[in-house]
Structure 1
């Protein structure tokens, strides 16, 4: 059994920079036709020169792979002139609540204080992507942020808002309440719960933000993905960290899934009898929501054994993936 996927897209992706990017960018470029690149570097990608320089480094790391990096600016107050110059180079702008996740210290502290930029984005048709968490109790952070999504959706009804890496049943329900809301969901949040992270021995390679939630949340996310909800898109949030930053006190947040995401999604959809819906979830929904035209790339995924490497190494970096050392039942067998 096999499936041929047309131009798979990863709508939430961390390439990092420098040697780490040299290692991980090709792993996405091999099996995806494009991806939305997160701008939370140090310093953040929050002006056009910095964005164009980052794009050059990405293109260099990808080499001749057919992959479109969809660039984003890090959210701050922008003038109309700045946005007019940047618009043709970006897919959208990514908002991080200050301190909510990795390299987000320069993020937004008060939503209402930055409404002039939301208004400009709405008028210019620039999408807003949001890391939607408060600073409350860790299991409640996304749920508490949903009221902010509702506020933005009502106040700026023509602003296209993406709830990034949703993790709760409540977020799935919110998708259908407002026409201008859509969402991405990760591979790990379709598979694991908090019990997999911390129910036994702590698994640092499954620790991410937003943290995995309850079984009923995973089930709601999985059902929406399996049915290819038209406003839900695959976004891996593949977030590589050096081994030394994961297996340590103060473990960094992030799950690395880029090299195995396509094969693992095929296995997940096949196990649930929904393989025919994978094309929409991993590509068509994003094309419809964002109006992108990715490179023509056909990825063949076959029902055959694939052993996930224990680690990916190169350029002085070592990164451990999800399912490290485990055998999957689907594998990428051809890319054309």
Structure 2
């Protein structure tokens, strides 16, 4: 039985860092253990201009305070012309498409995801090799929103075969099955969706710190995600979707959607992969697949975990903010060395 594990250049390919005081609190918690992270652009206002992009990148670097950490920047999807995309291409890793109003700070997202309406931008992205990252949910019944989005993914994959499409934070077996149907479809998977179902969120007393969008689904969906992650499928990669909200906005009427896992993700994943006898595959899920999919060269970093109990803090606080992590107050079987 393994007593230690060293991961090379761990990557988080879907991360929310927010801004201002919250950014200053949470950015170091990711930068400490990850070599790089793909940062979401859904600020208020969203990141849509070159100036806003570079300014946000600098604020992240200032807050992170680790030289061996690279924030991979994204733009919030809108209709961009090719000349603009050529200008920003070397400064971004992708463009994030949000259906309007579907999640936190997505009110100015796309109201209708129609291939022909979006064609000018998507064709320019295809020509320039800029991936499209998608929050894949409709506005339907909450448990069916991702499943209902599958035909949209298929339409995008068929109409833009050169466009690399990342199905973000997939939660269903339907999404897993779609991976192998189209060469240009890829996916990120979170920590929480590998571990919990809707029962954990709302089956007993409501657990606000497990509530996120997409919401956790059924047992068969979780099992499909676990299988594809544990077997290091080359088209899936880790993306925490770690989404910090102040404690008072989570433990409140109108609970904000988002699970905060950034400082404990590696410890949880080590325990999960060990339990299933798949520790050797964690390196691919946490880094190697992302390197191949995005073609990036992040700073070199080695993170060692040891088989020692780790008590998850009740909260992480500073800069006038307080965030409660997933599994607060519980003990994990792996710790950071």
Q: TM-score range by the shorter chain?
A: over 0.9
Q: Which runs of 5+ in 1 are unaligned?
A: none
Aligned pairs for 1:202-241 within 5 A: 202-241=206-245
Q: How far off its partner does 1:229 sit?
A: 0.5
Give the whole-Å Cα distance in 2 for the aligned partners of 1:137 and 1:306.
38
RMSD: 0.6
Give the whole-Å Cα distance in 1 for the aligned partners of 2:14 and 2:97.
13
Judge conservation of contact 1:30–1:65 (CA < 8 Å) in 2.
Answer: no
Give the whole-Å Cα distance in 2 for the aligned partners of 1:33 and 1:78.
30
* Structure 2 counterpart of 1:55, from 54, 57, 74: 57
Give the whole-Å Cα distance in 1 for the aligned partners of 2:256 and 2:135.
17
Q: How far off its partner does 1:237 sit?
A: 0.1
SS in 2 for 1:139: coil
Q: How far off its partner does 1:115 sit?
A: 1.8
Give the whole-Å Cα distance in 2 for the aligned partners of 1:191 and 1:111.
31
Aligned pairs for 1:82-121 within 5 A: 82-112=84-114, 113-121=117-125
Judge conservation of contact 2:169–2:241 (CA < 8 Å) in 1.
Answer: yes
1:56-106 residue CA offsets vs partner (Å, 9 max, x unmatched):
100100113411100000000001111011101000100000000000001
Q: Which runs of 5+ in 2 are unaligned?
A: none
User: Which residue is 2:156 aligned to?
Assistant: 152
Q: Structure 1 residue 25 and structure 2 residue 44: aligned?
A: no
User: Which residue is 1:168 aligned to?
Assistant: 172
Give the whole-Å Cα distance in 2 for the aligned partners of 1:136 and 1:25.
34
Give the whole-Å Cα distance in 2 for the aligned partners of 1:305 and 1:94.
37
User: Which residue is 1:140 aligned to?
Assistant: 144
User: Which residue is 2:45 aligned to?
Assistant: 43
Give the whole-Å Cα distance in 1 for the aligned partners of 2:120 and 2:214.
28
SS in 1 for 2:178: helix
Judge conservation of contact 1:26–1:65 (CA < 8 Å) in 2.
Answer: no
How many residues are aligned here? 333
Q: Which deviates the most, 106-115 or 177-186?
A: 106-115
Q: How far off its partner does 1:123 sit?
A: 1.0
Aligned pairs for 1:245-324 within 5 A: 245-324=249-328
Q: How far off its partner does 1:124 sit?
A: 1.0
Give the whole-Å Cα distance in 2 for the aligned partners of 1:33 and 1:211.
28
Judge conservation of contact 1:26–1:61 (CA < 8 Å) in 2.
Answer: yes
Q: Which deviates the most, 129-138 or 107-116?
A: 107-116
Give the whole-Å Cα distance in 2 for the aligned partners of 1:119 and 1:81.
13
Give the whole-Å Cα distance in 2 for the aligned partners of 1:131 and 1:95.
6
Runs of 4 or more above 6 Å deviation = none
Give the whole-Å Cα distance in 2 for the aligned partners of 1:135 and 1:65.
41
Give the whole-Å Cα distance in 1 for the aligned partners of 2:66 and 2:137.
37
Give the whole-Å Cα distance in 2 for the aligned partners of 1:182 and 1:204.
29
Q: Which deviates the most, 108-117 or 271-280?
A: 108-117
Give the whole-Å Cα distance in 1 for the aligned partners of 2:48 and 2:102.
18
Give the whole-Å Cα distance in 1 for the aligned partners of 2:336 and 2:231.
23
